[in-house]
Chain A
Amino acid sequence: MLQLSRRRFLIGAGVGALTLTSPRVFAAADSPRGEAFLTRPIPSTGERIPAIGMGTWITFNVGTDQYLIDQRTRVLETFLANHGTVIDCSPMYGSAADVIGAGLAKLGARDRIFAATKIWTGDGSETRQQAATSERRWGIDRFDLLQIHNLLAWQPHLATLRDMKAEGRVRYLGITTSHGRRHRELARIMETEPLDFVQLTYNVLDREAEERLLPLARERGIAVIVNRPFQGGSLFRRFQSEPLPPWAGEAGASNWAEFFLKFIISHPAVTCAIPATTSVEHMQENMGAMVGPLPDASQRRRMAQYVREL
């Protein structure tokens, strides 16, 4: 659970002041090491979260393998050490919730995260029960964000999540989609229902969300979490052997991970991207996208064009 420490309050206050005095969409918070990292506000409250979070799809589903649980704990440790807080999971992801729980317990980090999971059941009456099960698996008292997974039974779940939010059982609610599916239906929900968050797929190649969902999120004041920022790893498989463009440094990218992630988080509607990885080194690269300049609109166009032409 995210608790407001003195340091976090001062960072937040400083960032808030910076936002008020800066025309830039982004705010940069100072880390203890002196480097600035990007945070974005959740529109419904103004609370700021780091612009890079951690997804757990596939990567944290390691079952009862203690060797791999320890290895994933090191990935989690690296994430937290690099200012990460937003961790996203789902009951659909097998043992991932248990592995997160084990890692948080070992690192004593349960109070340092922004905990996000999903409700993934077709039974609209099981919202509270599934949330409670996920809390137990993570070892936390409540989630910061509960999202309805892939619009599954969204009406009854959303009604219950609203009640839970009113009772203080969850801080934010949202709804997710992935792989570019059901965008029209998601747009209808965003237009008619009060939501804190939506989660959707957006990356340098999958840009359908730019047409309707991202502008709508800005218009309606909904925070956007971006999943599959590397297209499930296929962006690396396709482009890693290719050279970065010579102008990548101007866009703030020193490697492909930063290139792909900065393209996403530089969109003004995006609050947070949640790349997933099994590697400490890759986690460090991912978190590097929160540091340094971001591409502007013309650089973003250039980035998309460069990748398309590759």
Chain B
Amino acid sequence: MSGATLLSYSLQDLVMFGPDVFLRLFVRVNELLWPWLLVWPIAALILPCLAQSASEWPRRLAMALAGLGWIGCGYLFLVRYYGPINWPATALGWAFVVQGFLLLILKGRVLPAPMAWPTAVAWWLVVIMLPWLSVLQTGDMRALALFGLAPGMTVAASVLLFAAQPAPFRWLFLLLPLAWSLFSAATYWAIETYWLMGYPAAALVLSWFAMVLSPSPARTRDLQSAHPGPGH
């Protein structure tokens, strides 16, 4: 296919499903897991308390919870439900699963300092307010987008954790959220589900927010010892 032919396709031409089919994915995933799906919002509310802890093991647990969330929405929502109507979602879903396992493996090693208070507040606001965007879009309470089950919601919250990481891990973990945000924004635009654009928009804004608020290496005891000064 020539470049000119490829460019003649609009975004809408490349999306092979309608909004009704996509929006029902939220309902179907929630119905499948009811009532156990309530575990996820509870875990999402507890996570910042763990991430703010001065001791290491609660922070490890916070990262492990985030990892389980990524595995959950990657496999269930993206691979099993979204993949059959949109093949790139399958590949992205497995990438979510890999990222989730990475979080489980690396755990506390990549959360060197307690989560900052403003970041924790932002997290709570995100997990309380953003689930309703999908309800606004569908007019159906059953379509609530929950952390750990809905990818947009999971990404928007998780970037607050990822952007606060030291440099190598920060960019490693932000790569997939960025890719997902661009992919999903294009999809939502094409199927005209404009309320859902709030998820990728929030992910991008919150990434910047968390990076600004993340403790600098100079203020992080662990990292100070990892970067010896001239006196050592």
Contacts and interface: CB of A to CB of B under 8 A. Distances in A.
Interface string A36-67: 00000000000000000000011101111101
B84 A182 contact: no
Interface string A209-226: 000000000000000000
A94 B16 contact: yes
B85 A63 contact: yes
Contact of B16 (A58, A152, A182): A58
Contacts of A8: none
A254 interface: no
A301 interface: no
B70 to A, nearest CB: 22
Interface string A259-299: 00000000000000000001000000000000000000000
B85 A278 contact: no
Contacts of A59: 18
A179 interface: yes
Given A152-B1, A181-B5, A232-B12, A95 B18 contact: no
Nearest to B12: A232
Contact of A61 (B8, B17, B28): B17
A178 to B, nearest CB: 8
Contacts, number: 50
A278 B20 contact: yes
A93 interface: yes
Contacts of B24: 65, 67-68
B167 interface: no
B81 A63 contact: yes
B18 A58 contact: yes
B5 A94 contact: no
Nearest to A63: B84
Interface in B42-59: none
Contacts of A63: 17, 21, 81-82, 84-85
Interface string A138-168: 0000000000001010000000000000000
B21 A61 contact: yes
A92 interface: yes
A179 to B, nearest CB: 7
Contact of B85 (A57, A95, A179): A95
Interface residues of A, number: 21
Instruction: Select the residue from A63, A65, A94 with max chain B CB neighbours within 10 A.
Output: A63
B20 A64 contact: no
A206 to B, nearest CB: 13
- Pick from B9, B20, B81, B85 the residue with the most CB of A within 10 Å: B85
B119 to A, nearest CB: 37
Contacts of B16: 57-58, 61, 92-94
Given A94-B86, A95-B84, A95-B85, A179 B21 contact: no
A217 B86 CA distance: 35
Contacts of B15: 58
Contacts of A182: 5
Contacts of B18: 58-59, 61, 278
B27 to A, nearest CB: 9
B194 interface: no
A182 B6 CA distance: 11
A94 B14 CA distance: 11
A179 B81 contact: no
Contacts of B82: 63
Interface of A: 57-59, 61-65, 67-68, 92-95, 150, 152, 179, 181-182, 232, 278
Interface of B: 1, 5, 8-9, 12-13, 15-18, 20-21, 24, 28, 81-82, 84-87
30 contacts: A59-B18, A61-B16, A61-B18, A61-B21, A61-B85, A62-B17, A62-B21, A62-B85, A63-B21, A63-B84, A64-B84, A65-B21, A65-B24, A65-B28, A67-B24, A68-B20, A68-B21, A68-B24, A93-B16, A94-B17, A94-B85, A94-B87, A150-B1, A152-B1, A179-B8, A179-B9, A181-B5, A182-B5, A278-B18, A278-B20
The 8 A-B pairs of least Cβ separation, nearest first, read A63-B84, A63-B85, A61-B17, A95-B84, A94-B16, A94-B85, A62-B21, A61-B16
